[in-house]
Amino acid sequence: MIKGIDPERIPTHIGCVMDGNGRWAEARGLARTEGHKKGEDALFEAVEGSLELGVKWLTVYAFSTENWRRPADEVRFLVNFNEDILVRRREELNDRGVRIRFAGRRDWRVPRRIIRRMDESLAMTEKNRRMTLTIAFNYGGRAEIVDAVRALVADKVPAKKIDERAIRSHLYDPEMPDPDLVIRTSGEYRISNFLLWELAYSELVFTETLWPDFTREHLYDAVREFQGRDRRFGGTAR
């Protein structure tokens, strides 16, 4: 096992806000897109590190509902690059026993071709159980709650039947457990609309590391920090 990590207390679900690609590139005098490209290595470090630890769910924030506000060139690059990574690497993920899922809005802004790639990837990996990699694409936490409310109304759920369980069961992936640990890179101390409902009691770890520099060692550091925390869920200390 990994030094300083208790194998009995591995977080079941880790979320990553993969931030800092643009700054990584700008610091090197490169185009921002070069930072996104380098971010692919970091993503697979996070995947491999999670597999090594025995994490069951890993959710990565790839593109937010607000990221459409970026310059058209960067948006186009990000959309195409996400598709490219998915197509190039899904077989490898499948071989590693990873189930791929997606969280986010499938609205008119997401090209049909990408939706098709997503559905193919879901079908290809649906039987895998070693770990679920959820790619949050065109994802916003507020949009997810709005969509859950819309689904409740469409299902004609009466007001008195609406409780936390009912809302949870209408989120994008009702099977997904709440994240135990959420890591945000790049020294930004905010959530930026990631998993708003689900992270009510998540432990948050912020690191100065820019996402393209992120390795499995950074993941292990975050898990060590997580294991040093006292999770109380509103109760009293252990």
Sheet containing strand 181-184, edge to edge, reads 98-103, 131-139, 57-64, 13-17, 181-184, 203-206
d(CA 149, CA 234): 26
d(CA 183, CA 207): 8
User: Does residue 19 interact with Mg ion by CB under 5 A?
Assistant: yes
Give me the residue whose beta carbon is nearest to ligand IPE: 22
Would you call 19 a catalytic residue per the annotation? yes
User: Does residue 18 interact with Mg ion by CB under 5 A?
Assistant: no
Residue 17 interacts with which of Mg ion, ligand IPE, none, CB < 5 to 8 Å by class: ligand IPE
**Residue spans of alpha helices (H) in 54-195:** 72-95, 112-125, 141-154, 164-168
CB of 18 to ligand IPE, least distance (A): 5
Binding residues for Mg ion, how many (CB under 5 A)? 1
CB of 20 to Mg ion, least distance (A): 6
Decide whether 10 or 139 has the Cβ nearer to ligand IPE: 139
- Asked if 36 contacts 113 with a C-beta cutoff of 8 angstroms, the reply is no
Decide whether 19 or 213 has the Cβ nearer to Mg ion: 19
Active-site hit among 19, 147, 180, 213: 19
Say which residues have a Cβ less than 8 Å from residue 132's Cβ, sequence separation at least 6: 56, 57, 58, 98, 99, 100, 101, 176
For ligand IPE, the binding residues (CB under 6 A) are 17-23, 61-64, 67, 78, 186, 188, 190, 192, 211
Give me the residue whose beta carbon is nearest to Mg ion: 19
Binding residues (CB under 5 A) for Mg ion: these are: 19
Residues with a catalytic annotation lie at 19, 67
